[in-house]
Amino acid sequence: MSDFTSEFWSWFIIAIAGGGIIWLFFLLQGTNKADTEEGVPTGHVWDEDLQELNNPLPRWWLFMFYFTMVFAIGYLILYPGMGSFKGLLGWTEIGEYEQEVADADAEFGPLFAQFEKTPVSELSSNAAAMKAGERLFVTYCAVCHGSDARGAPGFPNLRDGDWLYGGDAAVIEQSISHGRAGVMPAWEAPLGGEEGVNQVATYVMSLSGRDVDATLAEAGKTKFDMFCVACHQPDGTGNQALGAPNLADNVWLYGGSPRSIKETIAKGRNGIMPAHSEFLGKAKVHILAGYIYSLSNGSAE
């Protein structure tokens, strides 16, 4: 099946790649005056006596250019580069990646397999497992959660013991393996606009012991009890079965400033944790879960 929506684009690329090499060959031939004597004036003169001289191209320089053209032709015959033509070697990026993964699995698979037999909660006492888990974390997780696993706005801190879906070893492994999809709806309209958002935000801040306007907080509690308790519970401690955060512990995924809290309530949030089981495999997920479990239990320092 063609990679292009139309064969025109395949031939267009072939014309540019192949035609470019042919054009360069004739350009080189046209500019190479092998029979020209050295120092022959071209007739171009500047500043009365400054002349442009025509000299034949150095042979080493000329042969270098011919070599690059031969190399380019050979490359385009063996590898993709000429439109839809796949090359005689059949090389693809996907095939290269799959081969690298297969080689890595063959080399490290037995090591990962032996760790898979150990419960997640016990892997923290295995130095080799923790070193492997740390490398997996840096490779696959650090881009979101930070190299120190302390997270960033929108990406949870994995060291503080505050878990949206629970911090048990089995739950952590499930989160890594199958991923998570958290949705906080936008509440600005149901709450009656900016004033209602301000009231609920004030009440939410009061749950973590902040000094707030009591009148606004009281009005916010009424709305909180109407719209928010289904997910966050009447006391605001959240619901790990739904991934609803605890609002009473002063730990904030998207920031705990009044502005950030109001923005979260008004516009909602959508958080996606990708599933990693398909490309990591069960054994690597197991080791990674053990490493992450150790972070909030003081074992990985």
- R_g of the chain, CA atoms, integer Å: 32
Task: Give the up-direction half-sphere exposure of residue 13: CA atoms within 13 A in the CB hemisphere.
Answer: 13
| DSSP code at position 57 | P
CB 156 within 8 A of CB 253: yes
Helix/strand/coil for 45:
strand
Instruction: Identify which of 284, 296, 301, 291 has the alpha carbon closest to the alpha carbon of residue 122.
Output: 291
Q: What is the mean pLDDT of each run of 10 residues along the chain (301 residues)?
A: 72 91 87 65 81 80 91 94 88 89 81 85 89 93 95 94 92 96 95 96 95 95 96 95 94 95 96 91 92 81 47
Q: Which CATH architecture has domain 99-179+274-295?
A: Orthogonal Bundle (1.10)
Each domain of the chain, given as residue ranges in start order, spans 7-78, 99-179+274-295, 183-273
Q: What is the pTM of this model?
A: 0.69
Domains 99-179+274-295 and 183-273 fall in the same CATH topology: yes
Instruction: Identify which of 79, 102, 101 has the alpha carbon closest to the alpha carbon of residue 90.
Output: 79
pLDDT at 301: 47
All residues at 6 or more sequence positions from 153 whose CB lies less than 8 Å from its CB, including other chains? 253, 254, 255
Could you please report the per-residue DSSP string of 62-92? HHHHHHHHHHHHHHHHHSS-BTTB--TT---
Measure the CA–CA gap between 204 and 79, rounded to whole angstroms. Answer: 60
CB 120 within 8 A of CB 173: yes
Record: fold of 183-273: Cytochrome Bc1 Complex; Chain D, domain 2 (1.10.760)
CB 150 within 8 A of CB 266: no
Q: What number of other Cβ atoms are within 10 A of residue 197's Cβ?
A: 25
